[in-house]
Structure 1
Amino acid sequence: MDHKQLGYFLTLAETLHFARASEQCHVSAPTLSRQIKQLEQELGTELFIRDNRSVRLTVNGKAFVDYAQATLAKWRQFKGQCQDSAGPLTGELSMYCSVTATYSFTYDLFAVFRKQFPAIELNLNTGDPAFSINHVQTGKEDVAVAVAPSHLPQGVAYLPLGKSKLVIIAPTMDCPLSELINSHLNTPSLWEQLPFIMPEHGVLKERIDAFCARQKLTPKVYAHVSGHEAMVALASLGFGVACVPQIVLEQSPFLNQVQHLEVEPKGSLEEIEIGLICKQKRLQDPVVSALWQCATQLFSNPYS
């Protein structure tokens, strides 16, 4: 088996979906399936149970997750130890972040990092920021941009990059939702009648749940959505209102197709903090350490 196969396996073990896993691995679904079958043949056991509707880990598959994570972590550590101090820093580094973060944080960081360390290969994977911490903890990614949780997991290093307030948005287009908002604007019953587009999980969901609790509101949920950018799109189309970070809205192509709904009292929606995370142990890797140092210099005063 090779390390690329282990990476494919871990991605499929997390998503349990061949199409999504192949997209994240940047290979076709048949290629991914073939690599997994080769791995299973080499191990002499099935790692996944497949049928027409689902993919599930076998007992041996669940046990192999720990092996794959540990093997890849040791491989990265070994490569870091083999660096030639006399030559340019080389190696690979993977980062996970949301699409918005690629514009607001990652772009500037990668520009500085690339200039200082041109021989390092950078791999950027985007997706729902709710998965950032898990991707780092499982060793799938070296570093990630994440929304800071209320309690940072043990063994995870964190560097603040900035903050963003949360806003509730609604469509500007003529639609039944806009008519409902206009007819009940500034009335206590408005929030109880609005359909909400909610995040599936993560810190943003916790913030919205806390807001609803303070408002003594049980929201009518139209849909649960993975990814903040998709929430803006659905809100602009009139499917429901959505609570999103201001930083996401500012980068959205649908910025002019939504309006803000005022929330009372002011400040009842707690802002979020965005930061860079990685495993504390991974900072011993020269490549990861180099990126962390660049980020420390670039975002030394994130709130100034």
Structure 2
Amino acid sequence: MDIRNLKLFRHLAGTLHFARTSQACYITPSALTRVIQRLEAELDETLFIRDNRSVELTLAGIAFKKYADDVLQRWDLLHDELSSEDILKGELSLYCSVTAAYGILPDLMAKYRKAYPNVRIHLETGDAAKALLKLSAQDADIVIAALPDLLPKEFAFHPLSRTPLVFIAPLQYPEIIIRTETGIDWEQTPLIIPDHGLSRDRIDLWFAKENFIPHIYSQVAGNEAIIVMVSLGCGIGLVPRMVLEKSPFLNRVKILDETPELPPFVIGLCTRKKNLANPRVKALWSIANER
């Protein structure tokens, strides 16, 4: 088994999507399929259950991912030991939302690239709520994420910024908000909320505290999708203000004033504590500490 094949397997184990992995790793889907078939033949085990709609790891696949993670981590450590002490090389994998890529990453990575031009940056963007899951699965060395109410003890977190959570409504469809004499009728006004993540946890706690049974129009993945659906008049939504300010739909929605004040998001770098021994992660962590 060569390192390239292990990297392809690990990436596919993270995406569970042949097309995405083939595109990200610059390999054709058919070639990727052959790599996985060769690995399965060498192990005499099926690593993925796949059909026309989904891809899942088998129990053997889960076990082999742990092996691949261990081998690739040792490979990186070997490269670090063999590299010149004054030149940092290798790859740094980073996961964040599109908003973080626009609003937080440029300044941070500009300093990093200037100091360590020989490090290859592998950046993946996606749903912010999945950042810590990516880290847990070792699909990224470091992520930009919102600080959860309970940070896993194996994680390290460095704050970079704060942003409030705001309720938004469509400008063109004011009738979507059902009101009573005391304000918004939260049991009648349709809501667009995240299907998971910290925002969902915060709003669920508030509904439980107020003993509301909300009228949920839709549960979606991603703050950007919430803003789009609100702008179309489907309901009102809850998003981090930082995301709203970077949205092309900013001028189609408005922030509601008569809403509860939920705890803000603390946004920062997050990594596994053991990853701080990785010189590429340690270098980025040090740059963040200088901010």
- TM-score norm. by structure 2 comes to 0.91
Contact 2:14 2:137 in 1 (8 A): no
The residue that corresponds to 2:172 in the other structure is 173
2:103 match: 104
What's 1:270 paired with? 263
Q: CA deviation at 1:22?
A: 4.2
C-alpha displacement of 1:88:
2.3
- CA gap of 1:21–1:211, structure 2 versus 1, over 3 A, is farther
User: How far is the alpha carbon of 1:244 from its aligned partner?
Assistant: 0.3
Count of residues paired in the alignment: 291
Larger CA deviation: 236-245 vs 3-12: 3-12
- Superposed CA offset, 1:228-247 (max 9, x none): 12211121112222100000
The structure-2 alpha-carbon separation of the partners of 1:23 and 1:53, relative to structure 1 and needing over 3 Å to count, comes to: same
SS in 2 for 1:192: coil
Structure 1 residues without counterparts, runs of 5 or longer: 299-304
Report if aligned partners of 1:157, 1:277 keep a CA contact under 8 Å in 2: yes
Does the CA-based 8 Å contact 1:171-1:235 persist in structure 2? yes
Letter in 2 for 1:222: Y
Q: Is the 8 A contact 1:73 1:139 kept in 2?
A: no
Structure 2: gaps of 5 or more residues: none
Same amino acid, percent of matched pairs: 43
By how many angstroms is 1:186 displaced? 5.8
| Alpha-carbon separation, structure 2, partners of 1:126 and 1:29 | 21
Which residue identity does 1:272 align to in structure 2? Answer: F
Local SS of the residue matching 1:250: helix
- 1:302 match: none
2:39 maps to which residue? 39
> Against the structure 1 CA distance between its residues 17 and 65, is the aligned structure 2 distance closer, same or farther, given a 3 Å change threshold?
same
C-alpha contact (below 8 Å) 2:176/2:190 kept by paired residues: no
Instruction: State the alpha-carbon separation in 2 of the partners of residues 152 and 238 from structure 1.
Output: 36
Shift of the 198–20 alpha-carbon distance from structure 1 to 2, 3 Å rule, reads farther
**Which residue of the partner structure matches residue 223 of structure 1?**
218
Q: Does 1:288 align with 2:281?
A: yes
TM-score by length of 1: 0.87
Alpha-carbon distance, 1:279 to partner: 1.4
The AA in structure 1 aligned to 2:235 is G
Match of 2:49 in 1: 49
Cα displacement (A) at 1:54 = 2.9
Q: Distance in 2 between matches of 1:247 and 1:12?
A: 31
CA distance in 2, matches of 1:219, 1:26: 45
Moved more, 9-18 or 248-257: 9-18
Q: CA RMSD in A?
A: 2.1
